[in-house]
Amino acid sequence: MPQEFMKRIVEGHAGETEFHQAVHEVASSVMLFIRENPKYLNAKILERMVEPERIIIFRVSWVDDKGEIQVNRGYRVEMNSAIGPYKGGLRFHPTVSLSILKFLAFEQVFKNSLTALPLGGGKGGSNFDPKGKSDNEVMRFCQSFMTELARHIGPDTDVPAGDIGVGGREIGFLYGQYKRLRNEFTGILTGKGLNWGGSLIRPEATGYGCVYFAQEMLKTKGESLKGKICTVSGSGNVAQYTVEKLIQLGAKAVTLSDSGGYIYDPDGICEAKLAFVMELKNVKRGRISEYAKKYNCRYFEKKRPWEVKCDIAFPSATQNEIDEASAKVLIASGCRCVAEGANMPSTPEAVKIFLKEKILYGLGKAANAGGVAVSGLEMSQNSQRLSWSREEVDARLQQIMIKIHESCVKYGKDEKGFINYVKGANIAGFAKVADAMLDQGVV
């Protein structure tokens, strides 16, 4: 059945390789569970889950600083609303395609279900590249993008957030345009500024949550993060706050990267060095190679940090950034835990190796769910017109990560005590959405 099912997916969604990859992982994990629970089979739940409820594709025209007209493509994939309004980020990156957004939206359905919050799944974005654009150009693009998107979103319908290329600046411009069009001050985006409806801890949430998840995985072996050498990829939102939490918990982060290459700082990235990275990436919008010049350490151009010896790896840049060869190198150099801040950063071949070696492998949809979880908390605060304290949001985030870990253990632990987080997360995420779909009839 998995082969037949995947054949239909590959034919029916031709050329969408990232989407095939994401569906294959879930289908392989849940097929047995579905067979054991024929109610899901008879109601064709998985067949329905892989078909987005709605896809919106639109033209985004805007004028650059030279007065030239630019044209990009905008998307919103509204994947599943069985347990709540569509929820998931917007990605602005030249590689954005329907395949990438369908894979991300599909992952999001299971991830959001795992948080135990009432959130459906969606994802959107554009092939627009904010890199090298002026603030005014980014603003004009965001205004044009939102002019169309505004028709399709709403606080009880679809609530986008940030992702690669969409941070506080972009969310601000998008929100301003929505408010102008609708004359409504309402929670239609998360990741908003603190003065205008944002939640404390939302910027930190994905990175912090990923480290909390790694902590839970280590606890199952009686270990902690203290003194652990960690490699981190990326140097954006997720990577920055992963490093911040690692420092706080006594681990040593030794790498960061961007699409140009990675830096290796064997002394560890301390708070002062991290502050430099935040200024460099969030304000000056510079390249990570400048870290190597400033702190006199090595920079490896066009390479990824998986060749550096570590105890734990935190891939926090993009999809498929750990391939089979990198996974082998990681294992050979002693890495015993991988916690994915990014979405689907390990190729299927790499995942196979992690599972064969029985390391602690925390896949993205479980390990990086802290971001959307705090987005869910931002929505609750917006509905109540209240702001919770930093401590309160952080405590809730920690609790949610602990619960997600427990769900993975519930469905993923075998007789010998090995926890297959892939199986655990996929079945736990699937069951809740599937039951809601059964209750709601054939829609």
Whichever of 178 and 241 has its CB closer to ligand NDP, that residue is 241
Q: Which stretch binds ligand NDP (CB under 6 A): 9-17, 267-275, 310-318, 385-393?
A: 310-318
| 329 close to 289: Cβ distance less than 8 angstroms | no
- With binding defined as CB under 6 A, does residue 160 bind ligand NDP? no
- With binding defined as CB under 6 A, does residue 234 bind ligand NDP? yes
Residues 30-59 that bind ligand NDP (CB under 6 A): none
Is residue 123 part of the annotated active site? The answer reads yes
φ, ψ dihedrals at 420, nearest 5°: -90, 95
- With binding defined as CB under 6 A, does residue 164 bind ligand NDP? yes
Residue type, 35: R
- With binding defined as CB under 6 A, does residue 162 bind ligand NDP? yes
| 72 close to 128: Cβ distance less than 8 angstroms | yes
Q: Which stretch binds ligand NDP (CB under 6 A): 236-244, 381-389, 394-402, 406-414?
A: 236-244
H or E stretch at 113: helix 98-114
Whichever of 34 and 153 has its CB closer to ligand NDP, that residue is 153
Q: What is the token pair recorded at 222?
A: 């009686």
Residues 360-399 that bind ligand NDP (CB under 6 A): 368, 371
The site that binds ligand NDP (CB under 6 A) totals a number of residues, namely 23
Who contacts 352 (Cβ-Cβ below 8 Å, separation ≥6)?
none
Distance of closest approach, residue 287 Cβ to ligand NDP, in angstroms: 7
Chosen residue from 235, 255, 326, 420 binding ligand NDP by CB under 6 A: 235
Helical segments of 279-420, H only: 289-295, 324-332, 348-356, 364-367, 370-384, 390-412
Annotated catalytic residue, options 102, 123, 133, 273:
123
**Cross-strand pairs, 125:** 75, 91
- With binding defined as CB under 6 A, does residue 316 bind ligand NDP? yes
Question: Between the CA of residue 34 and those of 2, 139, 436, what are the distances in Å?
Answer: 11, 47, 15
- With binding defined as CB under 6 A, does residue 237 bind ligand NDP? yes
Q: Which stretch binds ligand NDP (CB under 6 A): 144-152, 231-239, 322-330, 415-423?
A: 231-239
List, as one string, the DSSP characters of 58-95: EEEEEE-TTS-EEEEEEEEEEEE-SSSSEEEEEEE-TT
Give the integer Cα–Cα distance in Å for 226 and 214: 12
Chosen residue from 16, 18, 158, 163 binding ligand NDP by CB under 6 A: 163
- With binding defined as CB under 6 A, does residue 255 bind ligand NDP? no
| 324 close to 349: Cβ distance less than 8 angstroms | yes
Residue type, 73: R
Active site residue ranges: 123
Residues that bind ligand NDP (CB under 6 A): 162-165, 167, 206, 234-239, 258-260, 316-318, 341-343, 368, 371
